[in-house]
Amino acid sequence: MKKLVWGTAALLGVAAVGFFGFAPGIVERGMNRNTGATWPVSAQAQALHKTLTVIDLHADTLMWKRDLLSKTDQGHVDLNRLEAGNVALQVFSSVTKTPRGQNYERNSGETDNITPLVIAQGQPVRTWNSLLERSLWHAEKLHDVEARSAGRLRIITSPADLARLLADRAAGKKVTGALLSTEGGQNLEGQVANVARLQAAGFRMLGLAHFFDTELAGSMAGEQKGGLTPLGAEVVREAEKRGMIIDVAHSSPAAFADVLKIATRPVVVSHGGVKGACDTPRNLSDDQLRALAANGGVVGIGYWDAAICQPTPEATAKAILHAVSVAGIDHVGLGSDYDGATTVGFDTAHLDAVTQALMTAGMSAADIAKVMGGNTARLLAAGLAPR
């Protein structure tokens, strides 16, 4: 009997190791997809791309159990692929909660898909029941990558950091910037004081809502889709004071408008599309684009199927061109939503395909430089300064 007990325990132990070791990777491979298509890029486009300051406003890579320093074809982003794609700065978001049956129409905040993933990945127990601790853990993961990267990855927290990063890259140094953001404000757990905790951990961008209404703001995919709450307004003011940029991606139209009424600095829509190129509930209307431009903000155009209808460089360029035609050339950037349970047509190593598509569409080199990162660099330099 004793042998049977020990044998059963051993089998359970092996099963647990197998589950915790392999299940997260299997889940991710089924959710972060690449169509595998290849996109011809001319020598002219390749040469232009190498001169660009490329900045991506949104990737969810920290949610997954993957080492950014490992060479892999899993997902969409790692340091090797960022370097191959000439990405100067990647914004990494912290996803802490998503609703069961997630969709673009209507979601409750009562359920959570992330808790099982957190447990399966073997994250610290403190993250199992705390959304704030999940974000703090994501920050720890990114700082660990920075420490092990031998100078190849650098976390950006101030205008001076950004200026030094861009100067070092211009001088030929092999370094990529990283900036921490939150995917929705539910990780504040209803406490304005937690803005300071996130800032201390390195976060410099703050989203207000995700796929469900939060204590801060309604979501475009929430049940009520309400505006900015009094707590949300307080958080916006506190975050701006601390040099944290407000992200209104996923915010309901009412919350989007409310934020723009009180924001004293330009805001971002870190990742999304535009109805004028792909008419889905997730995407911005022309009126919203004009309001964002009046605020001085930037919309990050995504590459995934639901944002641009077809995950191709041409569809990405189409969305960018429409946004530029409405908001103006100074208010459009990139926001991939890589590793966000998305299907894309190219990973971050192949962003020169977007440069090619914009060239083919007739955009000038100077305007391509603005869209691929120049506009976002300008916004970050202004917004990261505390008041």
**CATH classification of the domain holding 266:** 3.20.20.140
User: Which residues does residue 91 pair with via DSSP β-bridges, in sequence order?
Assistant: 179
Q: What is the pLDDT of residue 104?
A: 87
Examine the domain organization and report whether 78 and 26 are in the same domain: no
Examine the domain organization and report whether 94 and 54 are in the same domain: yes
Examine the domain organization and report whether 191 and 88 are in the same domain: yes
pLDDT band, very low/low/confident/very high, at 1 (cuts 50, 70, 90): very low
| Tokens 């589950």, located at residue | 19
* Tokens describing residue 326: 């409405």
Q: What is the pLDDT of residue 348?
A: 97
**pLDDT of 377 strictly over 80:** yes
Give the burial class of 233: count Cβ atoms within 10 A of its Cβ; 0-12 exposed, 13-18 middle, 19 or more buried.
middle
Across 79-93, b (16+ Cβ under 10 Å) vs e yields bbbbbebbbbbbbbb
For the whole prediction, is pTM greater than 0.85?
yes
C-alpha distances in angstroms, 256 versus 219, 249, 289? 9, 8, 11
Examine the domain organization and report whether 70 and 10 are in the same domain: no
Please provide the distance, in angstroms rounded to a whole number, between the alpha carbons at the two ends of the chain.
69
C-alpha distances in angstroms, 302 versus 71, 235, 260, 270, 282? 24, 26, 22, 9, 11
Residues 251 and 218 sit within 8 Å (Cβ to Cβ): yes
C-alpha distances in angstroms, 270 versus 74, 166, 184, 250? 23, 21, 12, 9
Examine the domain organization and report whether 189 and 248 are in the same domain: yes
Q: Is residue 37 in some structural domain? A: no
Q: Is residue 225 in some structural domain? A: yes
Chain center to CA of 107: 20
Q: CB-based contacts of 9: which residues, under 8 Å, 6+ apart? A: none
Examine the domain organization and report whether 99 and 151 are in the same domain: yes
Q: Is residue 36 in some structural domain? A: no
Q: Greatest CA separation found in the chain?
A: 77
pLDDT band, very low/low/confident/very high, at 29 (cuts 50, 70, 90): low
Q: What is the pLDDT of residue 352?
A: 98
| 54-107 per-position pLDDT tens digit | 999 999 999 999 999 998 888 999 999 999 999 999 999 999 999 999 888 899
Examine the domain organization and report whether 232 and 116 are in the same domain: yes
**% of the chain at pLDDT higher than 90:** 88
| 232-282 per-position pLDDT tens digit | 999 999 999 999 999 999 999 999 999 999 999 999 999 999 999 999 988
Examine the domain organization and report whether 145 and 236 are in the same domain: yes
Domain residues for the domain of 2 are: 1-31
Total of domains in the chain? 2
C-alpha distances in angstroms, 293 versus 27, 254, 272, 281, 383? 38, 17, 15, 20, 15
Q: Is residue 59 in some structural domain? A: yes
Q: How far apart are CA 268 and CA 247, in angstroms?
A: 5
pLDDT band, very low/low/confident/very high, at 28 (cuts 50, 70, 90): confident
Q: What is the pLDDT of residue 3?
A: 39
Examine the domain organization and report whether 161 and 121 are in the same domain: yes
Examine the domain organization and report whether 241 and 173 are in the same domain: yes
Helix 43-51 to helix 352-360 angle (10° resolution) is 120
Examine the domain organization and report whether 12 and 132 are in the same domain: no
Q: How far apart are CA 123 and CA 118, in angstroms?
A: 6
- At 203, the amino acid letter reads F
Examine the domain organization and report whether 156 and 248 are in the same domain: yes
Residues 45 and 352 sit within 8 Å (Cβ to Cβ): yes
Q: What is the pLDDT of residue 9?
A: 35
Query: Mean pLDDT over residues 313-320, rounded?
Result: 98
